Chains A and B, each alone.
Chain A
């Protein structure tokens, strides 16, 4: 009896393990995995042994040692480092987020590492070389908004990662010394599927690129930089008609009519293109060449192309399936009307300013353009919109037309600008957004805003996870409303607002359930921050003090939860309280 019981209990312990592992491999979402790991110790163990992908969205929230100890079998890692406002020069360059310590830990414990995605991390050439040497199975590298490396580091990757399938170097602060890194791929190397070097600036070795494209038959994504001419692009397309995502280089060249026809037929043989970007300097003359390739286009990125409204209209008529569109505001309200007319399936729109620091001249888009899109595109749920003027009424209408917004990022470029027709604050606009769009996850506010806007947000934005605030609010109460009212808030970034220590401390209960809080150029004092640090020992309260003129004020404060304790690599300007 006893032996039977113990056998049964042993069986019930060992049996579920294997099955659990099998079952858990089907759990791809890390949120689900996080949940199952909390059920019981067995499940926790099953999860930790079988988890192959981890995503660490704040590299200082955990240490490499803790990570490798818990998850010994990881193959894919995502790491995000600096606070988002580092993109806008608000974080000192030596702040931290160096990837090297992680790579060292991975080399030891994850020798089979396949994939590394880094965002806002500091990556040196030495780190890239180390990566190339340490992981023979390495397949996928993605660097987004990183800095610290040069094309020398890319050479190392190209030379030594023999199984590389994805090489995605986008939007980084790369010191581009030469384009010869492409020639470092071995002639025997054929596995590349994704190649994105669109934001590198130097000339590339085109012959090497051509040979690479020709021998990598599985290439699906190719995004070249501006140095690649239209004629060169044509050669590449002939070699790779199977491309699914294409980023062109410079799209303007003196072509004869005959050459144009060739170009056009080249594009028409690319039947699988779903995403198109680049098109720098694209002119009305050559754009028609791409029309044949646009039948299945779902993502069109024109944000590097100063296109006018007529050209956009013409182009969009050929893109019936478009779901995501990024443009410059050179298209104007008229261009956005064309979007509203031609893109009924549109889900995401981003309008970037072409000349953001030129506020002398009237240009760009207004509320009229946004309205036009909202009337024509009821499925719109993601918007990023830079404009010089907006009204409360327009925003109210827009969200009535498109109540499913999940991401609403409106940037009225002049700080503290009111509704230009009524001269009232923009409180009602964002009030309308949060009241109508119950699925709202991400919100960026701008314009003249009082505490009322934040009352609305606290009261209605129950699914809000990320909130960005600049030049807004009239008192501490504003931030308090958000801290007390938004249960799912994860990331809060605030700059140039009046919020002071009382506001900071109102979130005491919340910060451990949040990823991070950033407050810069607000009214915080060192004492307030010290108090927060004292009351919440499992938070890192970092103050960035770049000059010693006023020691009592805390100009830039970054607060985040961590199990790794205060970090040891802070530069002199950063104090962890």
Chain B
């Protein structure tokens, strides 16, 4: 078993982290069956355990490009500085700022408290306890037991599997059987990398009619035209994912009335993730990460803001009037520029992105 070299925020060692990379990344709408997923995950975790030595070597290469979490207060992992100073662990915090090996990441201003709660401070109160309060637990302890959230490495290689979370479809019994077989090893090794959450038939145990009613409730809410929504009716929640973030957030589109407010809401939401950018010396270019820095990063075409509309097409945010956007937006995704290329939007994104940011960020700079 490979010794855990670093520990992710979610308590996975490095070796296990690689199997997590191989496991699901819940992003876009391509899907593979979850039985395949669990097969993949378990075979990969088996492979992982068998080939720990080889794995470590391969993993070290991964390390260069992967985005992982670090514990609040932990030092960032050693890395060779790359030419273009690609960002390192998206969420790694190095509050101490004392590392001389590798480089330390500049903490966000609004997070610094020196305490272990790191970025969780920045999480708005409504989401409450993420269930990961570390409270001085040893890293070894964190390895035990199941992991609550699978990390999502952004921009990783083709080994990533993408699954879609669908409402439960009755799986073929074969899949259920496979799943059963695959779950057995998992349950025998409580310390092994836990499964990424795959859909299991009939779980959680909710009757079909209730599931269907809830599904149609959600669909109904999302279909409401944002501009003419029922007055007084609750909210228009859309999921917002950011490539590299370990979990999604939900944003109530009704709280924004234009793109500017949307962008600032998003910044607030995701600014808890330190995005460091380093020059060739491996030192941070600047102290602290301000909002403008985040904007710069996003502006520099590292990230692209996209949304999925009613027809399940992914579009760039900013092309259409706000009302039309809010009415048709189903979910948002802050995508890495490289992924956007894959979606065939390359030709447009620099153009449209300019437009988007011009509308929002530069205006907000003006306001300041």
Residues of A that sit less than 8 Å from B by CB? 85, 87-90, 145, 171-173, 199, 252, 254, 280-281, 283-286, 303-304, 306, 308, 333, 352-363, 366, 368, 386, 388-389, 411, 413-418, 420-421, 423-424, 448, 468, 470-471, 474, 495-496, 498, 521-523, 546-547, 549-550, 553, 555
A281 and B213 within 8 A (CB): no
The smallest beta-carbon distance between B330 and chain A, in angstroms, is: 13
10 chain-A/chain-B pairs, Cβ below 8 angstroms: A88-B203, A199-B209, A281-B230, A284-B232, A306-B234, A356-B211, A357-B166, A415-B200, A521-B180, A547-B174
Give the residues in chain A near B137, CB-CB below 8 Å: 423
A283 and B232 within 8 A (CB): yes
Known A252-B230, A550-B177, A555-B173; contact A360-B205, beta-carbon cutoff 8 A: no
B208 and A173 within 8 A (CB): yes
The segment out of B122-130, B256-264, B316-324 that lies at the interface is: B122-130
A89 and B168 within 8 A (CB): yes
B233 and A361 within 8 A (CB): no
Known A361-B247, A549-B174; contact A88-B148, beta-carbon cutoff 8 A: no
A361-B127, A411-B204, A522-B180 are known; give 11 further A-B pairs, CB within 8 A. A88-B202, A171-B209, A360-B165, A360-B241, A361-B239, A420-B131, A423-B137, A423-B145, A468-B205, A496-B200, A555-B173
- How many angstroms between the C-alpha atoms of A87 and B190 in the bound complex? 30
Known A87-B205, A546-B173; contact A498-B184, beta-carbon cutoff 8 A: yes
- How many angstroms between the C-alpha atoms of A421 and B135 in the bound complex? 9
> Using a CB-CB cutoff of 8 Å, which residues 251-309 of chain B contact chain A?
none
The smallest beta-carbon distance between B188 and chain A, in angstroms, is: 8
Interface: B214 (CB within 8 A)? yes
> Using a CB-CB cutoff of 8 Å, which residues 126-158 of chain B contact chain A?
127-133, 135, 137, 141-142, 144-146, 148
Give the residues in chain B near A357, CB-CB below 8 Å: 165-168, 199
- How many angstroms between the C-alpha atoms of A416 and B209 in the bound complex? 26
Which residue of chain A has the shortest Cβ distance to B209 in the bound complex? A171
Give the residues in chain B near A199, CB-CB below 8 Å: 209, 213
Known A366-B128, A366-B129; contact A87-B200, beta-carbon cutoff 8 A: no
Known A423-B141, A498-B184; contact A361-B209, beta-carbon cutoff 8 A: no
B248 and A496 within 8 A (CB): no
Known A361-B249, A418-B145; contact A285-B232, beta-carbon cutoff 8 A: yes
The smallest beta-carbon distance between B89 and chain A, in angstroms, is: 20
The smallest beta-carbon distance between B310 and chain A, in angstroms, is: 19
Give the residues in chain B near A521, CB-CB below 8 Å: 176-177, 179-180, 183
Known A363-B250, A366-B129, A549-B177; contact A173-B209, beta-carbon cutoff 8 A: yes
The smallest beta-carbon distance between A41 and chain B, in angstroms, is: 44
A555 and B176 within 8 A (CB): yes
A555 and B177 within 8 A (CB): yes
Interface: B218 (CB within 8 A)? yes
- How many angstroms between the C-alpha atoms of A468 and B129 in the bound complex? 29
Which residue of chain B has the shortest Cβ distance to A311 in the bound complex? B234
The smallest beta-carbon distance between A567 and chain B, in angstroms, is: 21
Q: Select B234's contact among A172, A304, A308, beta carbons within 8 Å.
A: A308
The smallest beta-carbon distance between B16 and chain A, in angstroms, is: 15
Give the residues in chain B near A355, CB-CB below 8 Å: 214, 218
Interface: B368 (CB within 8 A)? no
B208 and A388 within 8 A (CB): no
Interface: B170 (CB within 8 A)? yes
Which residue of chain A has the shortest Cβ distance to B245 in the bound complex? A360
Give the residues in chain B near A418, CB-CB below 8 Å: 145-146
- How many angstroms between the C-alpha atoms of A495 and B187 in the bound complex? 13
**Chain B 199-224 interface mask (CB, 8 Å, partner A; 1/0):** 11111111111110110011011000
A89 and B208 within 8 A (CB): yes
A254 and B231 within 8 A (CB): yes
**Chain B 78-109 interface mask (CB, 8 Å, partner A; 1/0):** 00000000000000000000000000000000
Give the residues in chain A near B173, CB-CB below 8 Å: 546-547, 555
The smallest beta-carbon distance between A64 and chain B, in angstroms, is: 28
A555 and B180 within 8 A (CB): yes
The smallest beta-carbon distance between A495 and chain B, in angstroms, is: 8
- How many angstroms between the C-alpha atoms of A241 and B29 in the bound complex? 50
Give the residues in chain A near B248, CB-CB below 8 Å: 360-361
B250 and A361 within 8 A (CB): yes
What are the 8 closest A-B residue pairs judged by CB atoms, nearest first?
A: A88-B202, A546-B173, A285-B232, A521-B180, A423-B145, A360-B248, A418-B145, A420-B131
Give the residues in chain B near A420, CB-CB below 8 Å: 131-132, 148
Give the residues in chain B near A496, CB-CB below 8 Å: 180, 183, 200
The smallest beta-carbon distance between B1 and chain A, in angstroms, is: 18
Which residue of chain B has the shortest Cβ distance to A423 in the bound complex? B145
- How many angstroms between the C-alpha atoms of A356 and B166 in the bound complex? 11
Interface: B336 (CB within 8 A)? no
Give the residues in chain A near B184, CB-CB below 8 Å: 498, 523
Q: Select A171's contact among B166, B207, B220, beta carbons within 8 Å.
A: B207
- How many angstroms between the C-alpha atoms of A284 and B135 in the bound complex? 39
A415 and B148 within 8 A (CB): no
Give the residues in chain B near A389, CB-CB below 8 Å: 129, 131, 148
Interface: B117 (CB within 8 A)? no
- How many angstroms between the C-alpha atoms of A472 and B205 in the bound complex? 15
A448 and B146 within 8 A (CB): yes
Q: Select B208's contact among A87, A284, A354, A523, beta carbons within 8 Å.
A: A87
The smallest beta-carbon distance between B311 and chain A, in angstroms, is: 21
Known A417-B146, A555-B176; contact A353-B234, beta-carbon cutoff 8 A: no
- How many angstroms between the C-alpha atoms of A87 and B249 in the bound complex? 31
- How many angstroms between the C-alpha atoms of A496 and B184 in the bound complex? 9
The smallest beta-carbon distance between A395 and chain B, in angstroms, is: 16
- How many angstroms between the C-alpha atoms of A90 and B217 in the bound complex? 25
A88 and B247 within 8 A (CB): no
Give the residues in chain B near A471, CB-CB below 8 Å: 183, 187
